[in-house]
Amino acid sequence: MDNCILQVDDLGVCFHTEEGRIQAVDGVSFALHEGETLGIVGESGSGKSVTSLALMGLVPSPPGQICAGRALYRGENLLAMPPKRFSEIRGNRIAMIFQDPMTSLNPYMTIADQLIEVTVVHLGHSHREALKHAIEMLERVGIPSPSRRIFAYPHEFSGGMRQRVMIAMALSCQPDILIADEPTTALDVTIEAQILELMKQLQQSQGTAIIMITHDMGVVANICHRVHVMYAGKIVEQAGCDALFANPRHPYTLGLLKSVPRLTQATSARLATIDGQPPDLAHLPIGCAFEPRCGYATPECRQQSPQLQDSEDADRFACFVDITKESPLKDPHV
Amino acid sequence: MSESLAGIAASPHPALLEVRNVAVHFPLQRRSFGSAAATIRAVDGLSFSLAEGETLGLVGESGCGKSTLARAILRLVPTSAGEIFYEGRRIDSLKASKMRPFRQQMQMIFQDPFASLNPRMTVSQIITEPMQIFRLHDRKDRQLEAMRLLELVGLNPRFLNRYPHEFSGGQRQRIGIARALAVKPRLIICDEPVSALDVSIQAQVINLLMDLQQQLGLAYLFIAHDLAVVRHIANRVGVMYLGRLVEEADAEMLYANPRHPYTRALLSSVPLPDPRSERHRQRIVLAGEVPSPDAIYPGCKFVDRCLMKAMDCQQQVPQLAGGDHRVACHFAWDEERYQASLAAANQKADIAHDPA
Ligand SMILES: Nc1ncnc2c1ncn2[C@@H]1O[C@H](COP(=O)(O)OP(=O)(O)OP(=O)(O)O)[C@@H](O)[C@H]1O
Ligand SMILES: Nc1ncnc2c1ncn2[C@@H]1O[C@H](COP(=O)(O)OP(=O)(O)OP(=O)(O)O)[C@@H](O)[C@H]1O
Ligand code: SF4
Ligand code: SF4
Ligand SMILES: [Mg+2]
Ligand SMILES: [Mg+2]
């Protein structure tokens, strides 16, 4: 896994809103390797989708703006790429499964036409080849009777079926990088397992690198090699998958893992949560953004913002406190 | 509003919601040649009841008709057969104007937060609009109430004047929840209400829904794919397959002792939040093709994918039967048969798993 395919350095994305400038993504850096699956988890609104939109050149502007950083894909900076070159790469070499299928599928075109368009444009298929290929892809994502139902419109499909159409579309071109933003939220677990298997197969045969954005820690455990945890626009922890679950180092990560409902848990017990309000990006504190909710906070945390720092095993976290040694001053997770 | 519900001829203690043999069919448009018209049986004869203050969890394969059922209850799609009762009063055939008082009592949290919020309305307008329609609160109090609701769902009240596109997926979902709560309903149909949320906010929203239930006696029909979440919130759980209920039981009972082969496959596939056990687990893989909802099955609809099917299953529809624990399978209680079939299927499929 030494083949770095995407190198993101110090990515920053901001939005200009009525309340002022919002730094939605702040100083995000990471490397993505061929054949690797990188998980991104984190608070709702922490910048996961915006990070991936930036990599796809799809941040709405205005109000959005890429205000810092670069993202090198095979040596080319995606963030400064001419639109024409970008459109060659997008959907073809770098594909994305969007979080909201309904706004990314065209409601006035049949599923067939939308799927066909992708391979006609990017792979130069003939219409007939493209249709055959599209039906095959629908079959692989578990759409029943694909040869008949491909002529339906998106509103005639269920939520999960639309999501699978998006997946079929993204996988059609066998991309180098697949960015999957919550790809399985609308799927039942048997189909989810099938889709994750399909992604792993693609990865094995094509060396595809996958960025998997998800809230489902079970999906992370199933498919991810490494995981990034985001909070308020920043990566607060980077770790190998096993290490993150076994030994979380950032208080937010710890709170997140404690909130996961377990299949074995008795019914009607209260779930653990992280107390307090999510951060308001327009009014972030000077110090650590998690400080108002953190049980480990010290006075230092209010003065300075912690940076990602190396730990022994190259996993990194941004926190002043070693939570494996300290106990929380107040237990915030009750 | 309560006047319009009065004078209802009903049994002494009717369920809050009762669904009897409901079906919803859609015509399948075909653009290929030489094919006869067909029907998609999205919901195909389904019955359940829901008491005041109770939560019925509904799980099932993607495309099995959960959202369609929810929409049919709210009269957003017409039913093709069957009857729906709210507090003993039949509502599936009411005129729109007669339906109005029920509309306030039954709210829905939609699966797709992107499509269900009007992009041209501010958060404040989105949340206060239903209050206005049903004339709740004084005009000046509505804004305050909206702020209170935002706080309740974990959003900053300062967001009131923003538009939906300025929010992340999970934030939009919470706006939808605040809107549903705005008119103080008695029944909320939740279609995947928490799947777009991070686990900590998800936990907050689930706790919130459970608190509201205690305080206000709300009933929920709770549709979700996350079986751990469903176990947590639901008193009873129904499992759907191709438009029908195949199993229904008390939540504890269902998770401890699933009887339908589909339920068993489903539970065995839940991804576990632990990388080590996730690597070494064994799933029951469903055999066969995903059947089409327009296919006609004289017998059990699960037959093509069932590992313990018998000849009879093709011909005879298994009825949802049993007292507390209802199962629609001819061999629901034949554990020996199931274990033998599972062993045989495993041998045949040679499921790749690491026994370490
Ligand atoms: N068009 C926009 N205008 C203003 N703010 C925006 C816009 N798009 C996103 N934001 C803000 O940027 C932040 C990051 O949003 P993003 O969609 O990346 O969150 P996320 O991590 O994907 O969350 P979720 O898990 O809920 O999908 C949010 O606080 C959001 O309010
Ligand atoms: N307006 C419509 N026209 C035609 N077919 C429809 C329509 N709405 C739903 N269907 C079909 O009815 C079936 C059930 O859809 P429904 O949305 O109820 O599924 P679901 O159980 O909610 O699935 P998911 O878990 O993926 O959301 C699907 O096969 C779908 O394609
Ligand atoms: S830096 Fe301080 S406030 Fe921030 S997470 Fe660490 S202990 Fe908590
Ligand atoms: S009735 Fe027959 S086919 Fe249907 S689930 Fe039971 S054993 Fe399987
Ligand atoms: Mg997102
Ligand atoms: Mg649905």
| Contact status of B163 with chain A (Cβ, < 8 Å) | no
Closest partner residue to A100 (CB to CB) among B59, B62, B169 is B169
Specify the residue with its C-alpha closest to ligand 1, atom 31. B167
**pLDDT digits over B181-196, tens only?**
999 899 999 998 888 7
Residues of B in contact with A152 (CB under 8 A): 29
Is the C-beta atom of A319 inside 6 A of ligand 3? yes
The mean predicted confidence, pLDDT, of chain B is 87
Sheet strands side by side (includes B17-28): B38-50, B17-28, B81-86, B89-90
Residue type, B253: M
Nearest atom, ligand 3, residue A321 CA: 7
pTM: 0.89
Is residue A6 over pLDDT 70?
yes
CA distance linking residue B55 with residue B192, whole number of Å? 14
Yes or no, beta carbons of B162 and A143 under 8 Å apart: no
Confidence of residue B2 (pLDDT cuts 50, 70, 90): very low
Phi, psi of B48 (to 5 degrees): -165, 170
In 3D, which of B180, B225, B115 has the Cα closest to residue A183?
Answer: B225
CB B261 within 8 A of CB B302: yes
CA distance linking residue B250 with residue B230, whole number of Å? 12
Predicted confidence at residue A299, as pLDDT, reads 93
**pLDDT digits over B202-219, tens only?**
888 888 889 889 888 899
**pLDDT digits over B105-115, tens only?**
999 998 776 77
Largest CA distance in chain B: 69
> Are β-strands A209-213 and A177-181 bridged in parallel, bridged antiparallel, or unpaired?
parallel
Rounded to an integer, the average pLDDT of B148-166 is 88
Residue at token pair 């066969």 = B288
As separate numbers, helices (DSSP H) first and strands (DSSP E) second, chain A gives 12, 12
Predicted confidence at residue A267, as pLDDT, reads 61
Is residue B7 over pLDDT 80?
no
Contact residues for B280 (Cβ-Cβ < 8 A; gap 6+): B353, B354, B355, B356
**pLDDT digits over B43-54, tens only?**
999 999 999 999
The mean predicted confidence, pLDDT, of chain A is 89
| Contact status of B264 with chain A (Cβ, < 8 Å) | no
- Residue A301 to chain B, least CA–CA distance (Å): 22
| Contact status of B213 with chain A (Cβ, < 8 Å) | no
Neighbours of A80 (CB within 10 A): 10
CA distance linking residue A259 with residue B198, whole number of Å? 9
CA distance linking residue B203 with residue A273, whole number of Å? 6
| Centre of ligand 1 from the C-alpha of residue A46, in Å | 7
Q: What is the ipTM of this complex?
A: 0.85
Lowest mean pLDDT, pick from A37-51, B173-187, B274-288: B274-288
Is residue A334 over pLDDT 70?
no
Domains of chain B: residue spans and CATH: 5-353 (3.40.50.300)
Percent residues over pLDDT 90 in chain A: 59
Lowest mean pLDDT, pick from A80-94, A226-240, A318-332: A318-332
Is residue A179 over pLDDT 60?
yes
Neighbours of A298 (CB within 10 A): 14
CA distance linking residue A166 with residue A255, whole number of Å? 32
Is the C-beta atom of A270 inside 6 A of ligand 2? no
CA distance linking residue A35 with residue A261, whole number of Å? 30
Predicted confidence at residue B9, as pLDDT, reads 43
Rounded to an integer, the average pLDDT of B55-64 is 94
Rounded to an integer, the average pLDDT of A138-161 is 90
Contact residues for B26 (Cβ-Cβ < 8 A; gap 6+): A156, B39, B40, B42
Count A/B contacts: CB-CB distance under 8 Å.
219
Yes or no, beta carbons of A43 and B204 under 8 Å apart: no
Predicted confidence at residue A233, as pLDDT, reads 95
Closest partner residue to B272 (CB to CB) among A43, A148, A221 is A221
CB A249 within 8 A of CB A296: no
CB A236 within 8 A of CB B180: no
Confidence of residue B42 (pLDDT cuts 50, 70, 90): very high
Yes or no, beta carbons of A44 and B199 under 8 Å apart: no
Q: Which-ligand-closest: CA of A274?
A: 3
| Contact status of B231 with chain A (Cβ, < 8 Å) | yes
Beta strands in chain A (DSSP E): 4-17, 20-33, 37-42, 64-73, 76-77, 94-97, 177-181, 209-213, 226-231, 234-240, 309-310, 316-317
Sheet strands side by side (includes A76-77): A20-33, A4-17, A64-73, A76-77
Q: Show the tokens assigned to A142.
A: 């578990």
CB A237 within 8 A of CB A317: yes
Predicted confidence at residue A121, as pLDDT, reads 84
